[in-house]
Structure 1
């Protein structure tokens, strides 16, 4: 067992091991340690993703949970790179992202062409999946529900401190019909205390990024595309992202200006509807 810096994925897989123990055995953490002949802290540290378990430890743990060699080999293949400071996942892996958001004490994000998932209206989220033509139609309802479920952290009494930078290009995207866009604008207006609009003429920033900060764990930079989710915990990546947000703080509209800008989009959309059109001016 090797002590090392934990990562979002190591904590995710550690939690998966904990869930496996609780559903496949009658053991609590201490009893599991006795069964394996381990110190009790070893089970806790592995399940918290704080240390890298050896291959022998993993096999013994999984065997105690009644899992066969095929299950063990599949889990080991995922666990192998769990402590890497850079790692990528398939784009539909919601579990790791939801866990990162739930554990974060501060979330700072910048989005260019879309609205961040934590402040998306349901109709907007659905239209994103529909228009991408990537997801199977029968999966879209579950994907939208997963995104909505992630947003419950925004209603916690101890929710993370959040700041969302939204580029004006995202506001101009003609996603769905006028009702979808109006609902999304109104959602943003309701959240202007945690949102700042980046004006359309500011074009130096080329990719979206989110910085997650935690009480004790190291900060994590997250970005995604249609093909992958990428997590970076390397100090250089974190420093570059921190400088990105310092620059955005200097060029973005303040909270009151952002509120007025969003109100302009709502007003313009309603004028278009009154005139018989459905597109933004």
Structure 2
């Protein structure tokens, strides 16, 4: 599994390693006996038991078989898949194109009732216009995706915006002021996007905050992230996509969101900053 800086991934790997180690102990096997039963070098058992090396599905099957606990195989392999799914490199997620990557998150958006999103790069996807989304995804496609299905991917993202208007959902969006002037696309695209941002901020279930660019701020911008209810955080990094489900780390992102929200301006003050960015396009 690709290494990431998140302690969520490491913690999940340790939980799986602990379960395997406890299974070995319950079976009355030491590391050497288990290694001999599996046909491995003893150091492999040690590395898996201490989470220094992630086991493969075949490793787990052999481990369970040696311990006489083949009834646990499916559950442990499923746990392994869950750990592997926490960190996904963009090249793996987008190898078949951008449309599938957009479709993959739709069930998450449909079941979520409370959205919190912070962005230091772009206007969040649920608030984007067609033209802005097209420019964002086209830039992504040119940088790292060989398949050109940008038009289909844009259509999927536009359809996903229906969650803004369906059901009893709440949305809190925070953007850095620099997002309003990121220079993406043409002046017409930027103008349409900023005007749309003002419009959608008036929805009764939507809050849009802008974190002003000014001296003396107490917290610097961080990577963009989404919080879905209180159960999951998604983070988009340069190298890949991180899914966080560990409660302690979700709480860290929630605290960061609160800190940024306290620094943001809303309502008329937010609209004034958006209008100022609009005026610079004229």
Q: Shift of the alpha carbon at 1:191? A: 1.9
Please report the TM-score for the alignment, with normalisation by the length of structure 2: 0.61
Counterpart for residue 195 of structure 1: 208
Query: Which structure has the greater CA radius of gyration?
Result: 2
Residues of 2 paired with 1:184 and 1:229: CA distance? 25
Change in 2 beyond 3 A, CA 1:136/1:84: closer
Query: Structure 2: which 5+ residue stretches go unaligned?
Result: 1-56, 58-74
Counterpart for residue 150 of structure 2: 140
Matched, 1:165 2:174: yes
Contact 2:223 2:236 (8 Å CA) reproduced: no
Q: Shift of the alpha carbon at 1:168? A: 1.1
Q: Once the two structures are superposed, what CA deviation does each residue of 1:222-280 show, in whole Å capped at 9, x if it has no partner?
A: 1113542211010111110111011012110122210111112222212xxxxxxxxxx
Counterpart for residue 97 of structure 1: 105
CA RMSD of aligned residues (A): 2.6
Please report the TM-score for the alignment, with normalisation by the length of structure 1: 0.62
Residues of 2 paired with 1:184 and 1:87: CA distance? 32
Q: 1:252 aligns with which of 259, 264, 267?
A: 264
Counterpart for residue 252 of structure 2: 240
Counterpart for residue 263 of structure 1: 275
Q: Once the two structures are superposed, what CA deviation does each residue of 1:87-143 show, in whole Å capped at 9, x if it has no partner?
A: 123254223321111100100010001111111111011111223313347311111
Q: 2:135 aligns with which of 127, 137, 141?
A: 127
Please state whether the residue corresponding to 1:197 is helix, strand or coil.
strand
Please state whether the residue corresponding to 1:165 is helix, strand or coil.
strand
Counterpart for residue 223 of structure 2: 207
Residues of 1 paired with 2:251 and 2:234: CA distance? 13
Q: How many residues align?
A: 191
